[in-house]
Amino acid sequence: MPEQLIPVEMPDCLHYLWGWFCELSGGRGYAEFGALPLTFSEIRAWAELTKTEPTAWEIETLKRIDRAYLTESNKK
């Protein structure tokens, strides 16, 4: 679970992005070999459902967090 990967240090101004990532990750798909990457379609659907309007920078940051999460998940 992403909640187990909370960084030791994170600027307060980025905590909301971590929360967004945890929400998105909770609905992610899984395949035979583990977690699937979050898609732009999933992010868009989440944004519409939660009435959130992420900026391009926030979306790119969510994708980067997701890549790091998948990299660490695949090591296990």
pLDDT over 70 (residue 52): yes
pTM to 2 decimals?
0.84
The Cα 69–Cα 45 span in angstroms is 21
Task: Determine phi and psi for 51, rounding to 5 degrees.
Answer: 55, 45
Task: Give the start-to-end residue ranges of the domains of the chain.
Answer: 11-27+35-75
The Cα 63–Cα 65 span in angstroms is 5
pLDDT tens-digit readout, 1-42 = 455 555 567 788 888 999 999 999 999 999 988 899 999 999
pLDDT over 70 (residue 63): yes
What per-residue confidence (pLDDT) applies to 72? Answer: 86
CB atoms near residue 14 (< 10 Å): 13
Enter the tokens of residue 65.
């967090």
